[in-house]
Chain A
């Protein structure tokens, strides 16, 4: 009897664990533009959303709490990497908080639960990270802008780079969720050699011993892996511990080698090549100002997530200024967003027909930072003015 009750309680326990924890933080101002930011601040991937938010808030504080001349009321909510709770938050933001626009989602599975619904209901959504292929092609929407990238892009750049370097047999790994599939599809679009194997692991997996053993047995000449956040830390560390670091080179997107990730991995990550639309040592005025300003405000190095938050805020600012802070002029606001009239820290940045960026992609290398810790250094450019593969399917 006792055991039975315990089991019932356990089920409740499991349900709670799989449930959610949403912590809300909001700021108040008079008659401001209300921006609803749903992002991932908890779980192992919490620092992704935290960096993005810091970048976004840096842009606001550089303009004394305003964007485009209007006061900003930024409402930030944590989705806990749970699509269902992000959806609840989105509904609340739309129906009871009446936000003017929404932004912030990091993960594509979360984005897929929220974005199609809110843009259908007329809300303008500006993505600061997730760029699932499903929203870039035939299902593109005039209310949906992606200020980061289309998911495949950064992986396509690495596919091209690995192809150019002459590798013939590559082993691929990614988590089993929409962005993981986009990642490997993107890589394979430009890499033309043999695939040793293609492995999808559970999202959030912590131990990769089994995958690494199978990988070694397949004898590839290079490995491409897409593991953002804590998954990447675990994978790279375990890969080095298995003695493979000097045997088979690792390649990945910048998500597998962001500034915090390489700091946490340490020496094991040095020399790893990764592709990105930005690098901390990029030679343009906007980027230099951003890196210095970010360090001054937070005492930390910005990552690509910070860049995307910062650029999205400045993009929003450019459009608010174009409509003179009157958010009821939706058509004008959308048209102004589409012009992308702001100076991106990434240099080249404009929107394509499907409201996804047309931008440049680079290869970077993980190096020890002379100021302590580890960072990325620019190696070369892979694509200029790169257009995503789905743009032609979009009828806008």
Chain B
């Protein structure tokens, strides 16, 4: 039972990492109507810049800031130089262009930092464990990730529901032409929004760096899951992103742990382990198929 609680916590933490990625991406996708495959590259930029700054003695918080700022800046430059030209184009053009950007960024970090992964340790005050569940010391940094996720979600809720910019964003999600006609500077709003989404991806990158390898292509794995999250949640919906991220985080984690065990009930262990692992990695896609069968436009729909 305690182990189950610990696994729930693991699932929650994974969900939160996905949420940081998904909330930015769903805003960009839903409001700007732009598919950005290079969102994972912004995650990578955040991780690389953060890890490098910390390796040069900036300290954790300054490193975090550097990573987030670098991702935001990269995002805004990307929007200004490339994305602007794509808003009116077909989705396929956007996919091709941003896929090209993935290749560009992966090669770029290989050129700057080399192909070897680089190291980043959690800050000293978060490197220990906390025994919140008796007998299962939990890494303090993972708790910090969960806390960051909750804070960011709260901030997003406040930003989208309570501020003027949030109102524009919601208006933009409902009817883009209309808010342009009402005199809102759409192109500035888009650049800011894109930069904001990029900053969230960068934040996710820096927060993921201490427990994962900082290396070229690190953003792609998480990007695929992020797209699954926003499709399940409903494109453009922050609430959907929250629900989708937690659903995927929990399904993936609990599936990995318990499906092989379940399979062992009626299969010999050697077959059950392999088949269980394969089935576990399919779980989230099965979940997506089921969710879309019942709610074709996602759990939380925004606009037509």
Contacts and interface: CB of A to CB of B under 8 A. Distances in A.
Interface of A: 1-3, 5-10, 12-14, 16-18, 21, 23, 41-44, 46-47, 50, 176, 181, 198-202, 204, 206-207, 209-211, 213-214, 216-217, 229-230, 233-234, 237-238, 241-243, 260-261, 263-267, 300
A241 B212 CA distance: 11
Given A44-B217, A207-B14, A209-B142, 4 more contacts: A13-B227, A46-B217, A230-B117, A233-B212
Given A2-B304, A213-B6, A47 B260 contact: no
Given A2-B33, A241-B122, A214 B117 contact: no
20 contacts: A2-B303, A3-B298, A5-B91, A6-B33, A7-B231, A9-B95, A13-B99, A16-B96, A17-B220, A18-B224, A44-B215, A44-B217, A46-B215, A46-B216, A46-B217, A47-B115, A230-B212, A234-B212, A238-B139, A265-B119
Nearest to A7: B231
A22 to B, nearest CB: 10
B53 interface: no
B118 interface: yes
A3 B95 contact: no
Interface in B88-121: 91-92, 94-96, 99, 102-103, 106-107, 110, 115-119, 121
B10 A50 contact: no
Contacts of A241: 122, 127, 129, 139, 141-142, 210-211
Give chain A's interface secondary structure class: helix
A238 B257 contact: no
Contacts of A12: 91-92, 95
B180 interface: no
Given A13-B35, A13-B227, A260 B211 contact: no
B14 A209 contact: yes
A233 B274 contact: no
Contacts of B59: none
Nearest to A5: B91
Interface residues of B, number: 76
Contact of B35 (A9, A41, A216, A242): A9
B13 interface: yes
B213 interface: yes
Given A2-B33, A264-B213, A200 B92 contact: no
B218 interface: yes
A184 B168 CA distance: 57
A200 B71 CA distance: 35
B253 interface: yes
Nearest to B96: A16
Interface in B123-155: 127-129, 136-139, 141-142
A46 B119 contact: no
Given A13-B227, A264-B118, A207 B29 contact: no
Nearest to B214: A264
B280 interface: yes
Nearest to B285: A14
A234 B115 contact: no
Q: Which of A42, A206, A210, A242 has the most CB of B within 10 A?
A: A210
A17 B95 CA distance: 10
A210 B257 contact: yes
A213 B119 contact: no
A198 B273 contact: yes
A209 B119 CA distance: 19
Contacts of B11: 210
B213 A6 contact: no
Contacts of B107: 23
Contacts of B216: 42-44, 46
Interface in B277-298: 277-278, 280-281, 296-298
Contact of A210 (B212, B214, B256): B256
Contacts of B136: 213, 216-217
A229 B13 CA distance: 24
A242 B29 contact: no
Nearest to A232: B213
B31 interface: no
Nearest to A259: B116
Top 7 A-B pairs ranked by shortest CB distance? A9-B91, A230-B213, A233-B213, A209-B10, A200-B277, A241-B139, A176-B277
A266 B121 contact: yes
Contacts of B95: 9, 12-13, 16
Contacts of B122: 241
A339 B276 CA distance: 44
A214 B3 contact: yes
Interface centre among B6, B94, B115, B139 (most CB of A within 10 A): B115
A214 B257 contact: yes
Contacts of B7: 210, 213-214
